[in-house]
Structures are given as C-alpha cells and as structure tokens.
Amino acid sequence: MAEETIVLTHSSDVSGETLVSMRVLEIIAGLAAQEVEGVSRLTGSLSERAQEAFGRRVHGKGVALQQTAEGLIVDVYVYLDYGVSVPKVSHAIQQRVTSQVAAMTELQVKLVNVHVQGVVSQKTTSSVDVNNLFGEESDTEGTK
C-alpha cells in the first residue's frame, strides 16, 4: 500500500516537486502539540502503545490528518496535566500546530480539533523523615 503524500507548491526556477509524507506532517503536529505547556502526553493507537512498551519511540502518535481542498484538518488526541485551563491549553495547541505546520511546509491548516482524552495528576513527593517514621515528636534534650 502506498503511503499518502502531499505535493508542496513553491516558486522556483528549478524543475521538480517536493513530496511530503502524511506521516511527516503527523510528526510535526505531534511534536508541536507536545511542546505546549500543560500537555502531559498524546494518546496513541493500541499498536503505537505496544511499540512504546518495547522501547521504540513513536512520533506522530495521537494525531490524525485529513487533506481537503481548503487545507489540512488535524485531530490531536491529548492528556492534559491536572489543574490547567482546558480551553487555554487547547487554544495554545491549535495555534502551535497551525503555526508549525505552516512554517515548516507552507501548507494551510483549516482546522485543528483538540480531543482531551484525560487528565494526568502530578506525582506527589512524599517527604518521609527516616529518623521519625511515625511522626512522633522528638525530645531535643533527650531523656535520662
């Protein structure tokens, strides 16, 4: 099965064309979304998660693209950090993805749909005093 490509149009005196794989566009959009503060991670398909489980880094996961006559439609599937403003982070993702795809390929992005799949809480660090495991107050003068 042939991989989908998009022809980039640019004015040049040199003959030829530039073809960009849809996979490359997914990677650009995925990396752009991951750079937004408040994004914990992008979701992936079952096969992508399996590949990551075996140590292979999967780029472009959590991104689906559609090419239309008006431009690209990008769907981004994310998990956000707990406590962030969902509308603000979603808007930042839309802006970042649109600007990065346009800057790197000069393609028009028609829509960026952000699908928030979940919220990830931050790990809490436990401050356990190994000298006072049960939280008993210590006598600074000592007992005789």
Q: Note the pLDDT of residue 114.
A: 97
In a domain? residue 41: yes
Domain housing 57? 18-120
Tokens of 11: 């004015």
Q: Are 78 and 33 in contact (CB under 8 A)?
A: yes
In a domain? residue 9: no
Q: What is the CATH number of the domain that holds 66?
A: 3.30.70.1350
In a domain? residue 132: no
In a domain? residue 115: yes
Half-sphere exposure of 96 (CA within 13 A, CB side): 19
Assign 110 to helix, strand or coil.
Answer: strand
Total number of domains in the chain: 1
Tokens of 124: 């809490």
Model pTM?
0.72
In a domain? residue 54: yes
For 24, list phi and psi in degrees, rounded to 5: -65, -40
In a domain? residue 1: no
Q: Are 74 and 113 in contact (CB under 8 A)?
A: yes
In a domain? residue 143: no
Alpha carbon distance, N-terminus to C-terminus of the chain: 84
Full pLDDT tens readout for the chain, 144 residues: 345 877 776 666 777 888 889 999 999 999 999 999 999 999 875 555 555 555 555 555 899 999 988 999 999 999 999 999 999 999 999 999 999 999 999 899 999 999 999 999 876 666 666 677 676 665 555 555
Q: Note the pLDDT of residue 5.
A: 79
Tokens of 117: 């799949």
Q: What is the Cα–Cα distance from 143 to 115, expressed in whole angstroms?
A: 62
